[in-house]
A and B are shown apart, each in its own frame.
Chain A
Amino acid sequence: MAKDLLEYIEFSTLECLNEAPNHGAALALKQGYREQDELYLESDTDEQLLLNIRFTNRVRLQSIVIKATDEAKAPKRVKLYTNRPSLGFSDTSSVPCAQEIELSPAQLAKGDPISLKLVKFNNVDVLSIFIEDNQGGEETTKLCKIALFGTTGEVFNVAEIKKVGEEK
């Protein structure tokens, strides 16, 4: 069953391009921070954001939650890319995305999980979230929570290996 993949996010390598100095990606992703609406991720020079999230395990993504309280500055078009480490803004136009999502204000306000095309997100090491623009065409984009749900790759349990054919 889908579980919160928070514990598999590698924060040491977390990168968010164009994040504002005191409003970084950790505030939207980390335990506790993401629940508080006053701690938000905001963009800096323009309205776009690009998060590169590396996982400690290979994961299968099933859904994503994005929550934002500021309606006008909330993200609108979001593109997800898989397994492209260090994706840059200039790459987003040339590299095909795994899925493109357009968020509705209702989804953003409630933080509804948005289902993902399972086939495309089967073996993800690095997830890139490109926020292209916001609802109100504002100069900066703000969001207070990003959560990812799915399962980790099947762990091969050696203890489960059973001898075959010699039971007597």
Chain B
Amino acid sequence: SSLDRLSELPDVFRRIGNISAMECTVVCIDNSEFSRDGDYAPTRFQAQADAVNLLAGAKTQAHPEATVGVLTMSGKTPRVLVTPTPDLGKVLNCMTNIEIDGECNVSSSVQIAQLALKHRQNKNQRQRIVIFVCSPVTEDKEKLVKIAKKLKKNNVAVDVVSFGAEDENQEKLEAFLEAVNSSGNSHLVTVPPGPVLSDVLISSPIFQGEGGSGFGFAGGVGGAGGGASGADGFEFGVDPNMDPELALALRVSLEEERDRQNRAAAAAAAAAGAAQAEGAGAGVSASAAEGATAVAGIAGAAATPGPVAVPGVGAAGVSGDMDLDEDALLQQALAMSMEIDNAAAAAQEAAAAANDVTTPAPTAAPVVTPGAPQVAVAPPPADLDVMDEDAELQLALQLSMQDSGPDNKEDQK
């Protein structure tokens, strides 16, 4: 399994992988009668289910060992539908079988969630509960604060999503949040009717998390939305189960690129930025085979997008940013894989280009060696301006997917 293979990666990657905190999250769902209401399209319950699916996806993608569990708060008793698991499929499956019934019992649910967290397999995981509330909370404020203090004492962070009964619950939930919050690890997001619940959540701290761990996922969603229908919706357009090394390499390059972009965010905008962002979104999904000159072009392209990508950050709007980062990180990943086979040539290129984008790449390159996608050796770079950015990306992705073909057979057990 991909988790086993994680141990094959060099220590550096494992350490870097811990940038986004490794968490065990238990999601508490409000499946009370109140969730039938259609004020959030199509129903409160369905909007919630969509958000939970996205959240579970984001958490499991952010860290390979993250686990997510689900429990329902209404009905005769709160029930754990899925004990914390890294398997996104199980979570998505259980969401389809939920019945709407009764009223929520928040205090019991939180107790049960806490127990589920306590019995998590990996004790190194941080503990988090995410509670969706769309019905009036019956517990009084004092009781909620008492529960919150117990959670804080046991180092459990809590995110609360309040929608549907926001006004009634606001005071109680605010008191709850204040009591459970420890140095900003907990959040309360109130969503008024109107905007799509999932959209609001994606840009909230609940997804963005610590160190922007949700950021990459948001980028994936933005790219998939803007791109062709072929997008599989996975972060970076690569299935981490098929190719964990590449997924991890891409995530590392995203982190580095984000750091670099933060520093260069003030750079002047260029018109090419916006167009490039759109092209990247489509390029992730589709694939096209091209000649060796295209391969050569990639090495050079990886060196050049720096000055172009940077202005793109400034130029493009909020949605454009997400696509651009995906693009930038893909290029960085490509640069890294090119480095392995052609370290000297690429290093020279990087030096010649005197460019930030590739400077992180050479340092990462020697470490990426085991199992990283092997791309064909590049002949001297061709005329880059002629190459379509989009086409280069498509080719590179296609090549790396092909090259990890033999790896896939190993992975499928």
Contact = CB atoms under 8 A, between A and B. Distances in A.
Interface of A: 13, 15, 17-18, 21, 44-46, 48, 85-86, 88-90
Contacts of B413: none
**B124, B150, B152, B155 — which one has the most chain A CB atoms within 10 A of its CB?**
B155
Given A88-B118, A90-B118, A44 B153 contact: yes
Contact of B182 (A21, A85, A88): A21
A45 B152 CA distance: 7
Contacts of B183: 21
Interface string B145-157: 0000110111100
Given A46-B153, A89-B154, 15 more contacts: A13-B124, A15-B155, A17-B153, A18-B153, A18-B155, A44-B152, A44-B153, A45-B149, A45-B150, A45-B152, A46-B149, A48-B153, A86-B123, A88-B118, A88-B154
Chain A binding site: helix, strand, loop or mixed by DSSP?
loop
Nearest to A22: B183
Contacts of B179: 45
Task: List the 4 shortest-distance A-B pairs measured between CB atoms, nearest first.
Answer: A86-B123, A45-B149, A18-B153, A45-B153
A86 B118 CA distance: 9
Interface in B121-170: 123-124, 149-150, 152-155
Contacts of A13: 124
18 contacts: A13-B124, A17-B153, A17-B154, A17-B155, A18-B152, A18-B153, A18-B155, A21-B182, A44-B152, A44-B153, A45-B150, A46-B149, A46-B153, A85-B123, A88-B154, A89-B153, A89-B154, A90-B118
Contacts of B150: 45
A68 to B, nearest CB: 20
Contacts of B123: 85-86
A49 to B, nearest CB: 10
B159 to A, nearest CB: 19
Interface in B173-229: 179, 182-183
Q: How many of chain B's residues touch chain A, expressed as a range?
A: 10 to 19
Contacts of A90: 118
Nearest to B124: A13
A90 B124 CA distance: 18
Contacts of B149: 45-46
A17 B123 CA distance: 14
Contacts of A17: 153-155
Nearest to B146: A45
A29 B224 CA distance: 49
A77 B412 CA distance: 55
A27 to B, nearest CB: 15
A31 B149 CA distance: 31
Contacts of B153: 17-18, 44-46, 48, 89
A44 B182 contact: yes
A85 B121 CA distance: 12
Nearest to B122: A86
Contacts of B118: 88, 90
A79 to B, nearest CB: 17
Nearest to B182: A21
A20 to B, nearest CB: 9
A64 B123 CA distance: 26
B355 to A, nearest CB: 35
Contacts of A85: 123
Contacts of A89: 153-154
Nearest to A45: B149
A23 B293 CA distance: 60
Contacts of A18: 152-155
Nearest to A20: B182
A109 to B, nearest CB: 28
B181 to A, nearest CB: 10
A84 B124 CA distance: 13
A33 to B, nearest CB: 19
B194 to A, nearest CB: 36
Contacts of A88: 118, 154
Contacts of B154: 17-18, 88-89
B186 to A, nearest CB: 13
B80 to A, nearest CB: 18
Nearest to A85: B123
Nearest to A46: B153
Interface string B224-267: 00000000000000000000000000000000000000000000
B137 to A, nearest CB: 21
A47 to B, nearest CB: 11
A44 B185 CA distance: 15
A85 B179 CA distance: 27
A85 B155 CA distance: 15
B279 to A, nearest CB: 43
A86 to B, nearest CB: 4
A17 B126 CA distance: 12
B115 to A, nearest CB: 9
Contacts of A48: 153
Q: Which residue of B150, B152, B154, B183 has the most chain A CB atoms within 10 A of its CB atom?
A: B154
A46 B150 CA distance: 9
Nearest to B120: A86
A65 B150 CA distance: 29
A44 B118 CA distance: 20
